[in-house]
Structure 1
Amino acid sequence: MPAQNERIASLQSKIWSGSLPLEIRLAASDCRTYNESEAYLVQYPRLSYLAFVLPRLHAFFASSLINPEVPAHESWLSFEDVPLKWHYPLGLLYDLFSGAEPVNVERQRREEQIGASEATVETSSGVVPIPWRLTIHYTDFPGDQLIQLDADGRAMLDSYINGVKEADFIRNGTARTVMSLSKEDSDRLWQAVQTHDLPLFNTINNKLLNPPGLELRHVPIKIYLPTSASQTASETIPEEAKAGHIRVVQALVPLRLPSKQPQTLGTALNSILPTIFPSRRNPLLAQPVLHGAAVPMGAVLEDLGRAAAYTDGFLHLAVVMLG
């Protein structure tokens, strides 16, 4: 395996091993003892979806529910009163809403050079409580903000497959590759996502990334701007949408610049959001965050697309304002 492919495989493996500790409590309004139910603790993969854990949560909280007959799929999760979207992977939700400071690999290397004692002082601020504390609700479903799940899991499957098709169309200019997958391959892809099985996932995903007779054109990317970033970009935010408001920006990002040089994350962000990313080299006003880490602006976008995309094929980048 060429060295570049080895690096991509190594990075992908590390990303797939990422997880978050969660503490999930039952909403007081749904608890027959008000707020005395036990918390559900779980270490959950960053790349996975919270909808997959709902049956376990329902079994755990059933004895504490005012209405234990309520179906598991009618529940919803929130963080500090913000409903969490089912079709967003857990890691993206955490990067968007937790307030945790992203890991900065380059800064960690500098701190290792100057010594551990100084590094501890430098990074001791901005600590976010671990585990991430969420609340599960079984009433008052926020239908204006979340999709309604179903008992058979079709809503989650359809949402995921639509994302995969969209990513495939962006990469190739056609969704022919994903549409030509056999039913067995499509089922195995969904199984790999549900069971968090990287080897199984790659047997199908590699077919999407290396389509016969097609040359990849673009990198599927979605950029998530919180209220502060949207205000920097001079976007008008409706007053009623400010709590948990996220603006999603998409653009066709070619693999190479007109100069034939590889597209980097910095050149892409500068092209898409020049107000927030005025420099191609340095994060002056905002930091792009992917899988909980601050991504170097010089990272080659094609390599990121192969190694660090979420399971739907997209690079889901959170924007964190600096200062």
Structure 2
Amino acid sequence: MAAASQTIRQQIWEGRLPLQINLSRAECRVFDKAEPYIISFPRLSYLPFLLPRLLDFFKSYLIESEPVYPYQGWFSFEGVPLKWHYPVGLLYDLYTGAGPSASIYSAKGQDDDRDLNHLSQGILPWKLTLHFQNWPDQELVSLDAEERVMHDFFMNSVKEADFVRNGTGKSIMALSREDSRKLWASIQEHSFQTFHRVNSTLLPNLSTPFRNVPLRVYLPTASGLEKPSIKVVQSQFPPKIPASVSGGAGQQVQTIGTALNSLIPSLFPDAKATSIATPILHGAEVPMNAPVEEVGRCAAYADGWLNVVIRVHE
């Protein structure tokens, strides 16, 4: 199983997403807008890593006369600022795809890139808009020139996942300073070999089950007419369901279906069926009968979390 898990982890690591990035028309000195920047970008990586090359590409098109720096850049999709600390694959799963949730992502008064994406959910490349002005302070934490903010967000998420898995933070705290540096460098450089070597020291061996599985469930909801809202739900999910809870004679394996049934029974009334909604992970439907610990071992994001997006059926 260990070899199979590593193969799956590497295949997920190598997953990429074609992006078409357009400079905001409000910031472009060319009337008919600048040429877009096209790139195939790792699903597990983070959009701010693109900012230095994007600034170089779009610098001659910017209206702004004052100096502009990469860390001032931010991205939007159909007028909605994209959280930079979410991996790009998670962002894509959240903001695209069929279903009623697709209709909530148009924010009134922010139509700078809406014409590029109208009725484009699920169509590739994913079209994003790049901004260097008017940072959305209410939605996004500011970046810094040294990437310290990004580093701290990522490492704090790794620490939280480690605590959920083990019931203690000893594994991440035991990492040497050099291994901590290498872990972050593997994210910056998107190096699977470096990442796997360090990350494997954080995971309990196969004979030692997780205390709980780091699982976050993302529910796109309409919180009002003006702006969309993403509700993030998480709870404690042990690999085995105690007999007192399962109602059986012994412990029952915790699956994706049983976890979702306990967390959001209105969308998953049956732990084995997806009649109302479907769980999506890395752009693919997750089998309801998949043991949640096995999925956590081989299909977690780089910070150790299973980020499952719920897509409600039409």
1:16 is aligned to 2:7: no
Report if the CA contact (8 A) 1:54-1:73 is conserved.
yes
- Please give the residue correspondences for 1:27-66 in structure 2 after superposition, counting only pairs within 5 Å: 27-66=24-63
1:98 is aligned to 2:96: yes
1:317 is aligned to 2:308: yes
CA-to-aligned-CA distance 1:123-181 (integer Å, 9 cap, x gap): xx997321100000111111100110000001100000110011011111111110111
Q: Structure 1 or 2: larger helix share?
A: 1
1:130 is aligned to 2:128: no
Moved over 4 A (4+): 211-215
Q: Secondary structure at the match of 2:123?
A: coil
CA-to-aligned-CA distance 1:4-24 (integer Å, 9 cap, x gap): 223212211211111010000
Task: Count residues with an aligned counterpart.
Answer: 287
* Structure 1: gaps (5+ residues): 102-124, 229-236
1:169 to 163, 168, 176: 163
1:190 to 184, 189, 192: 184
Report if the CA contact (8 A) 2:23-2:33 is conserved.
no
Cα separation, 2, equivalents of 1:127 and 1:26? 20
CA-to-aligned-CA distance 1:51-104 (integer Å, 9 cap, x gap): 111101001000101126211111110000010001000000000002258xxx
Letter in 2 for 1:301: V
Please give the TM-score of this superposition, normalised by the length of structure 2.
0.87
Q: Percent identity?
A: 46
CA-to-aligned-CA distance 1:98-117 (integer Å, 9 cap, x gap): 2258xxxxxxxxxxxxxxxx
Query: Larger deviation: 66-75 or 137-146?
Result: 66-75
Change in CA separation of 1:211 and 1:303 when aligned onto 2, cut-off 3 Å = closer
How well do the aligned residues superpose, as a CA RMSD in angstroms? 2.0
Cα separation, 2, equivalents of 1:86 and 1:59? 20
Cα separation, 2, equivalents of 1:284 and 1:49? 33
Cα separation, 2, equivalents of 1:320 and 1:85? 19
Specify the alignment match of 2:79 in structure 1: 81
- Please give the residue correspondences for 1:1-323 in structure 2 after superposition, counting only pairs within 5 Å: 4-67=1-64, 69-99=67-97, 128-210=122-204, 216-227=210-221, 237-240=223-226, 243-258=227-242, 259-323=250-314
Q: Secondary structure at the match of 1:209?
A: coil
Report if the CA contact (8 A) 2:209-2:239 is conserved.
no
* Structure 2: gaps (5+ residues): 100-118, 243-249
Cα separation, 2, equivalents of 1:57 and 1:191? 21
Query: Larger deviation: 81-90 or 62-71?
Result: 62-71
Cα separation, 2, equivalents of 1:279 and 1:126? 32
Please give the TM-score of this superposition, normalised by the length of structure 1.
0.85
CA-to-aligned-CA distance 1:180-201 (integer Å, 9 cap, x gap): 1111000000011111111111
Change in CA separation of 1:96 and 1:211 when aligned onto 2, cut-off 3 Å = same
